[in-house]
Structure 1
Amino acid sequence: MICFSRVLLGLGAALASAPVAAQVPKLLPLPAELHSGRGVLAVSGKTALVMPAADTGARIAAERLAALVAEARGFELKVGSDASTPSIRFVRAATGKAESYRLEVTPKGATITAGDDAGLLYGAVTLWQAMTQAPGRGAVSIPAFTVADAPRFGWRGLMLDSARHFQSPAYVRQLIDWMAVNKLNTLHWHLVDDQGWRIEIKKYPRLTQVSGWRRPATAPGAPQLPQVGGFYSQEEIRAIVAYAAQRNVTIIPEIEMPGHALAAIRAYPELGTGVPIPPGTESDWGVFPWLYNFDDKTFSFLENVLDEVIALFPSRYVHVGGDEATKEQWKGSAEVQARMKALGVKDEAALQAAFMHRIGGHLTKRGRKLIGWDEILEGGEVPPDATITSWRGVEGAIIAAKAGHDAVLSPSPILYFDNRQGFSDSEPPGRGNRIDLKTVYGFEPVPSAIPAAQQHHILGLQANLWTEHVRTEARAAWMTFPRASAVAEIGWSAKAGRSYDGFVDRLIPQLERMRALKLEPASSAFAVTPDYAYVPGSDSVTVTLVNQSGLEMHYTIDGSQVTAKSPVYRGPVSVKLTSQFKAAAFHSGRELPGGVKQTVTAQSVRWRSDEMLKTCTNRVVLALEDDYPATGKRATFVSDIFNPCWLWEKAPVGDAKQIAITVGQIPFNFQIGKDIETIKFAAPATPEGEFEVRAGGCEGSRVAVLPLAAAEGNPGLTRLVGRLAPRAGNETLCIRYTAKGVEPMWAIDAVELIP
């Protein structure tokens, strides 16, 4: 049963002025039971942390609480052995299922009770949240309350892709800290892929010597970018694993096979089927055809690698990938075909199943369990104790559960955090789908198609951060939070009783307290997004505002600062040209990040960034970072790589005489197989090609042509200006370019109509 106080109060002054008996803290994830008490507990540097002398788990939880409080509030809680009051006590006693706990806060002290180390830690995390309901330093008074809490799922995870872009050990530890205070407990660490090998294997040093590094791709004629990469030594990994264990985070390593094997084959070519690797291939993105060979030497290599991995990671599971293993190289290898015939294997899908059986058997002998992406369900019998990570929707989990296999839900695109959270110039590069906070929060991990008797096979869920387009650690943090907090609540809290509005109300103070842990989360969920509608000849513009979280927005049109007392946005606003328009979302009277400040002029309403345009098609839309300059800010281009074409709907063309398009060139570094043959361009009229503009849609009349000669060879942005045929009113413009092929790929940064 879930029991909540009916009075949930805001931050700051509202918290201080409310009746004490009605106050309960805003906690994330939402606890199973939360009851208000009477009175307050004062906590300061004089408050003692008390636990049984020989209880190592209790001491770890107490020390973690002390560290969190020191970072957030600036004072130290002392670990003591006396029973003085008020104090914070850690008590070992049964509280139900794994990771459960009970927390009771009274004016006489706080008591955290749990049957395991994880429960004690999570009780400490909850108490820390109660102590940081509002920003501030120094001693704090906590209204009395009681929590009885337990998780819905045992697997509440994130996946970090360190293969495509390497993150420092310091960042990995930060991520673990952020996970722990959200009660996330599983870090799936993607250490190996086509672009890089990140884990030191002492028996095979070339894996990191050769494949720990690469040079990013650049467009023809652009300056070469410096080498990037790195890897984790075994000593660093042991330290990170130990660090995670103290925060109840289990790290599950992933060693990809039989596909996504280019990094290993680069280092040791005999592991492949003999197909040469063109120089620079490791700098591409996409689905690569290079697979491991199917011979005893290759399996000896993989088993030796896994043995070193097992020695580093004590997790019950080892992830072996199994996804996106295209079979053309196996089909073209006489050696592999002969092996198939000798084994009596009917096709290449069945050969992959045999591959996984052999690897699964080795892991079983070592006391570990195989887990893989849902493709391992194909081709025949799955290893008997295999667990499935369902990423191609939820179907893999349904098939697995019905067949008696455990499964983790991780479906694309909803739990793929390389998808962007919004469409604005503040968003970093990534996939073009908008997977916002509300979308993530609405995900249900137990598919209705799974019969009740098999639902216990759903272990939980995880979100995946693939980093092809996530070059920096700051961007990794932005892409992960606050959406990871939504995953945490879905995984921990019962479905009944949760609501998105309540989640947002609790999320905002959670993000504020996490800033003390050096998190700079995305502002996307709270950002105010304006849309400017302008009719040529008018002296005003209509502004429409939205924000993802449905929070109250305030605005001003005279340049004054936006406050909670400014007008509330209730619908489209008419703004005179040459006005200062400002708007922001507010929560409990406080302005949230992501506000808008815009000088609305005759020029600004005739300008659109690529983020404000639409792509003509949505086959594979990506927000791609420019390959220039090597250091400093780079442009980000939104484009469908299969059809680079953009639409400006209701463009104010009526009084425009010219059009300016700011463009850039980027490499076409995508492994897409034969699909590249489907990318078609109109033939260029000039050697370098040209951008063309059509009115009324892509089949409409051509109203402007802008030759690309001026941009050819320029690694940065180029502003092209051309005459625009006379038009009336507002009209959709279709913008695309002519070319002989995909290399280089041109993209738009901004478009402007010039009167």
Structure 2
Amino acid sequence: MAQSAKYAILPRPALLTEQPGTYTLPATVSILLPNTNAEIRGVAGLLADQLTRATGRTPKIGQGQSGKQAIVFALGKGPKLGAEGYSLRVTPKQITITAEEPKGFFYGAQSLLQLFPAEVFSPSIVKGISWAAPCCYVEDQPRYTYRGLHLDVGRHFFPVSFIKKYIDLIALHKQNTFHWHLTEDQGWRIEIKKYPKLTQIGSQRKETMLGRYGDNKYDGKPYGGFYTQDEIREVVKYAQSRFVTVIPEIELPGHSMAVLAAYPELGSNPDKIVPVGTKWGVFDDVLFPREETFTFLQDVLTEVMALFPSQYIHIGGDECPKKQWKESRFCQELMKKEGLKDEHELQSYFIRRIDQFITSKGRKMIGWDEILEGGLSPNAIVMSWRGTEGGIAAAKQKHDAIMTPGNFCYLDHYQADAKTQPIAIGGFTPVEESYGYEPTPETLTPDEAKHIIGVQGNVWTEYMRTPEYVEYMVWPRAIALAEVGWTPKDRKNIDDFLQRLAVHKKRLDYLNVNYFGAPINNKFEYQWPAPTAKR
């Protein structure tokens, strides 16, 4: 058996040394911890739960440094492994996971599970299996600190149960960030107590596009949905237990038709009726840089920041048409007053005001690369999607950047011949292309390169009506990007990856993931009636 099949760990560890022999899970297994740290105990609990579900053997969790055929968590000495690093030693007598912080133990546990037969991911007991793991020594830590996966719930809304499953899969592949795109022209999806019309009006659209954009056909069915603040808290807590940070995105000043449907006074004309978007694409109706708008956005962001403890808050900033600003006496006078030479600088003024507010709350603002136009806000982090130029420009200005260029990282692109696939937005990004991405551009100096903090897969859901279709588009390409973010550049190998992936697909089958190439590829249309209320 090739090493890549026998040691099918994804993403590939920085170091893996094959050793003879196997460890066999005993009838009564102990998980021994170094101390009473609640987070480390939580990791042990998740590992024990999975082993119990699949094997029927319930591990006992206690404290200690060694035990017969025990799984031992040991604290590393010194900063060798880093916050997310771990070592994993598998011998016939004992398994030892060594880490310095709880998240290191979590990632070590993910690698350990992947050494057992694929059936270890079963949701119910599997009998007749030899629960053995091959002996080895692994020393591992991530290449980048930011390893993300995004989901747009504005175009199509997905239930909390699916969001949790999405987070489980993010965590399994050692990604650490879920970027939750919560607001869009076609729907506002987060409850804001101070502005109830955002969900009463902004979360509902009268119909949805059918088929391809050019067909200009609609289903005629009301569509809606949003997350209550309690549901948001539930998701954030769930993600924290798996060391996934949830970053909210509140789009501004463009992609805001759902806001203007609810509060038209924040746009070009308080008397204008703006519908929640039903068509895909970019619209001229945008937020206006009035004081009332800034008050509104500060109120919204205050509630958002109370729900999301993440260091980063994403404010969008992409695809903001300037037509209404050009035609507005108010905007033109504001530009004169503030000494702004064009509408791009007016957008920078808008973004800078929001950046100041977010910074005053001790957080950091992320925006799409359009926030570079007209001058970059002092504390902003750039998410580079229109190619790599935005990330390069940000790094040269000593700003951190997250790389998400469309041709490698956009998982709404086709992944095979379009004639053989359900409808998608266009483009072509096979798994090999995602895997081949190199996030740190060679044009950067070593000091500038430090500002490339990571990589992210983006999932825009115009054509993804169901959880099953999201899964079909996301996996395995997101796994390829997870390896791009984690594994050292010189350890990457596409043939080796595909061999490990072949084993890994059996795990995804047990996890009921409808990945591309899965035996259950279907369900690309609605699986439940289009909701007209919160659910």
Partner of 1:147: 138
Matches for 1:412-491 after TM superposition, within 5 Å: 412-423=406-417, 427-491=421-485
Cα drift, residue 98 of structure 1: 2.2
1:85 maps to 2:68:
yes
Report the alpha carbon displacement of residue 278 of structure 1 after superposing the two structures with TM.
6.3
Over aligned residue pairs, what C-alpha RMSD do you find?
Answer: 2.5
Separation of aligned partners in 2, 1:218 and 1:97: 48
Give the Cα–Cα distance (whole angstroms) in 2 for the partners of residues 149 and 109 of structure 1: 19
1:64 alignment counterpart: 46
Match of 2:242 among 239, 247, 251: 247
CA deviation map 1:494-550 (0-9, x unaligned): 1113211100111122221133323121118xxxxxxxxxxxxxxxxxxxxxxxxxx
Q: Please name the residue that 2:123 is paired with.
A: none
Distance 1:76 1:31 in 2: 28
Distance 1:326 1:67 in 2: 50
Deviation at 1:479?
0.7
**1:745 alignment partner in structure 2:** none
Instruction: Specify which structure has the higher proportion of strand.
Output: 1
User: 2: CA distance between counterparts of 1:73 and 1:486?
Assistant: 29
Corresponding position of 2:22: 40
Matched residue, 1:194 = 185
TM-score by length of 2: 0.91
CA contact (8 A) 1:180 1:248 kept: yes
1:316-370 deviations in Å (ceiling 9; x for gaps): 0000111000100111111222222222222111011111111001011100001
Q: Among residues 31, 46, 56, which one is paired with 1:49 in the alignment?
A: 31
Residue 385 of structure 1 is matched in structure 2 by 379
Could you report, residue by residue, the CA deviation over 1:238-274 in whole angstroms, capped at 9, with x for unpaired residues? 1100110111110110011111111111100101011
Distance 1:172-1:34 versus aligned 2 partners, 3 A rule:
same
The correspondence for 1:122, drawn from 99, 107, 127, is 107
Partner of 1:76: 58
Structure 2: how far apart are the matches of 1:629 and 1:460?
35
| Residue 511 of structure 2 is aligned to residue 517 of structure 1 | yes
Once residues 232 and 317 of structure 2 are traced to their aligned partners in structure 1, the CA distance between those partners, rounded to angstroms, is 24
Tell me the residue number matched to 2:153: 162
**Structure with max Cα Rg:** 1
Equivalence for 1:295: 290
Q: Is the partner of 1:183 in helix, strand or coil?
A: coil
Question: CA separation in 2, counterparts of 1:56 and 1:221?
Answer: 54
Q: What stretches of structure 2 of length at least 5 have no aligned partner?
A: 121-125, 531-535
**Which structure shows the bigger proportion of residues in helix conformation?**
2
Partner residue, 1:537: none
Preserved contact between residue 185 and residue 258 of structure 2 (Cα < 8 Å): yes
Which residue in 1 is equivalent to 2:533? Answer: none
- Hey, what does 2:231 align to over in structure 1? 236
Structure 1 unaligned runs (5+)? 1-5, 11-23, 525-591, 595-624, 633-755
Question: What is the CA-CA distance between 1:63 and the residue it aligns to?
Answer: 1.2
Whether contact under 8 Å (1:171, 1:473) holds in the other structure is yes
Q: Which one-letter code corresponds to 2:70 in the other structure?
A: S
Corresponding residue SS for 1:200 = coil
Residue in structure 1 matching 2:303, options 308, 329, 335: 308
- The equivalent of 2:81 in structure 1 is 96
User: Which among 209, 230, 238 is matched to residue 200 of structure 2?
Assistant: 209
Q: Secondary structure at the match of 1:49?
A: strand
Say whether residues 1:107 and 2:92 are aligned partners: yes
Change (3 A) 1:295 1:504: same
Paired residue type of 1:480: V
Residue identity (%) = 41
Distance across 2 between alignment mates of 1:440 and 1:87: 39
| Aligned partner of residue 10 in structure 2, secondary structure | coil
| Equivalent AA in structure 2 for residue 304 of structure 1 | D
Structure 1 position 424, deviation (Å):
5.6
Instruction: Give the drift of 1:385.
Output: 1.7
The match for 1:330 among 308, 325, 330 is 325
Deviations 1:138-160 (CA, angstroms, capped at 9, x unpaired): 55122211100010001111110
* 1:88 aligned partner, one-letter code: I
What is the distance in 1 between the residues matched to 2:216 and 2:499?
51
Q: Is the Cα contact below 8 Å between 1:200 and 1:207 reproduced in 2?
A: yes
> 1:182 & 1:41 partners in 2: Cα distance?
23
Which structure is richer in relative contact order (CA contacts within 8 A, separation 6 or more)? 2
Pairing of 1:486-635 with structure 2 (within 5 A): 486-523=480-517
Q: What amino acid is the match of 2:112?
A: L
The CA deviation at 1:186 is: 0.8
Question: Residue 162 of structure 2 aligns with which residue?
Answer: 171
Residue by residue, what CA displacement relative to the aligned partner does 1:156-201 show, whole Å, maximum 9, x if unpaired? 1111001110010110000000111110111111001111100110
Q: Is the 8 A contact 1:134 1:509 kept in 2?
A: no
Q: Sort the Cα spacing of 1:522 and 1:221 in 2 relative to 1 into closer, same or farther, 3 A.
A: closer
Match of 1:144, SS? strand
What displacement does 1:404 show?
0.4
CA distance in 2 between partners of 1:52 and 1:160 (Å):
37
Report what 1:284 is aligned to: 279
Query: CA 1:521–1:45 in structure 2 vs 1: closer, same or farther (change >3 Å)?
Result: farther
Contact 2:29-2:57 at 8 Å conserved across structures = no
For the structure 1 residues 275 and 295, does the alpha-carbon distance in structure 2 shift closer, same or farther, using more than 3 Å as the test? closer
What's the offset of the Cα at 1:61?
1.3
| Separation in 1, partners of 2:476, 2:4 | 22
Match of 1:101, as an amino acid? Y
* Residue-by-residue CA offset, 1:594-627 (whole Å, 9 max, x unaligned): 9xxxxxxxxxxxxxxxxxxxxxxxxxxxxxx99x
